[in-house]
Amino acid sequence: MLKALLLPSGDLSNPVFRLESRRLRWGNANYHFLRFSLRAASILVGFIYTCWLLFAISSSYFNLLATIQNVAAITFVISIAADFFIDLISMTFTITAISGEINVKHWDLVRLSLLDRESIIKAKHAIANIRVWRMMAVVWLLRCLTAALFVLMYFIPTQYDGRPLISNVLRSLVTNPFEVIFVFATLITFAAIYLIEPKWRMSAQTALGLAISARMHNTLNAGLAALAVIVVIWTVQIIILALYAWMTVNLLMDVRNPVVAFCFLFLACGGTALTVRVFYSALRQWALDYALRHAFKYD
């Protein structure tokens, strides 16, 4: 299931996908993905270890927990900002996917074929996902390592009583079980959306790139349109998150029961996750339909 979730795939029975995959210099074999993942993971582990050493050396006294917290905070911010590079690379590999063939008159051969129009667009989208997968994999691996650091913090002894945070959590589980359950349910929901989001984002952005390519045949205009789309997507996402945060804060201000408060927090996190999923799915489907209409609008 993890392989199906993370690795890009296409319909091997689709002749357009088979033809396009043969032209790929990278990504036309499964071992390419595994080898790149291991190499990227090694580099990211080295980066995180270097950050940890720098914090440890620069501190006047060594505090393992504080150092891991600082490194985790830095990698978390970097992993969120790295979505911008997914957007840029997705657009770079797709804004000429259709217009490039139209400009050199190859697209006329595709239009005259008996192939299903929708399957042609899906094949183009699958190939674009393969091309962008490496950037997505780097972001995903960075987020996995960041999540591992946050989990590790629960098992590091604190400076106050020498006991790890997990021991306090287990004690709270006995005295306030519902609060702990809702907190961990919220954290797990956030972690799930945090880890899966790069794949959803890549699929939506490559679809938008195909839509731009089908509509605009001038590379400069397509590039400017791609930048505008990226800005709009980020703006919409910030507005959605701000609205959820505002509604959650307003609801929690009037709640006195901790269990109810944590329940509201869990529901807000789940609602955000569902909204993100629906947003990316709807954006992807709209973009593919738009690309289909404009790529074959003279048929």
The DSSP result for 35-67, as a single string, is HHHHHHHHHHHHHHHHHHHHHHHHSSS--HHHH
Residue 5 confidence (pLDDT): 52
Residue 284 confidence (pLDDT): 94
Non-local CB neighbours of 35 within 8 Å, separated by 6+ positions: none
C-alpha distance from residue 86 to each of 79, 89, 131, 181, 199 (Å): 11, 5, 11, 34, 10
Residue 296 confidence (pLDDT): 81
Q: Which of 120-134, 231-245, 251-265 has the lowest mean pLDDT?
A: 251-265
Helix, strand, or coil (residue 167): helix
Residue 33 has pLDDT above 70, yes or no: no
Residue 290 confidence (pLDDT): 92
At 212, the pLDDT band (50, 70, 90 cuts) reads very high
| Domain positions in the chain | 12-18+26-295
Residue 2 confidence (pLDDT): 47
For 133-191, the pLDDT digits (tens) are 888 888 888 888 888 888 888 877 776 666 777 787 778 777 777 777 878 888 888 88
Counting Cα atoms < 13 Å in the Cβ hemisphere of 216 gives 16
At 97, the pLDDT band (50, 70, 90 cuts) reads confident
Nearest to 221 by CA among 113, 132, 91: 91
For 98-132, the pLDDT digits (tens) are 888 888 777 777 777 777 888 888 888 888 888 88
Helix, strand, or coil (residue 164): strand
One-letter identity of residue 186: T
Instruction: Provide the mean pLDDT of the chain.
Output: 80
Residue corresponding to tokens 């006995």: 174
Higher per-residue confidence, 90 vs 21:
90
Q: Which of 45-59, 124-138, 247-261, 266-280 has the lowest mean pLDDT?
A: 45-59
Nearest to 52 by CA among 165, 148, 193: 148
For 64-96, the pLDDT digits (tens) are 677 777 888 888 998 899 889 999 999 988 998
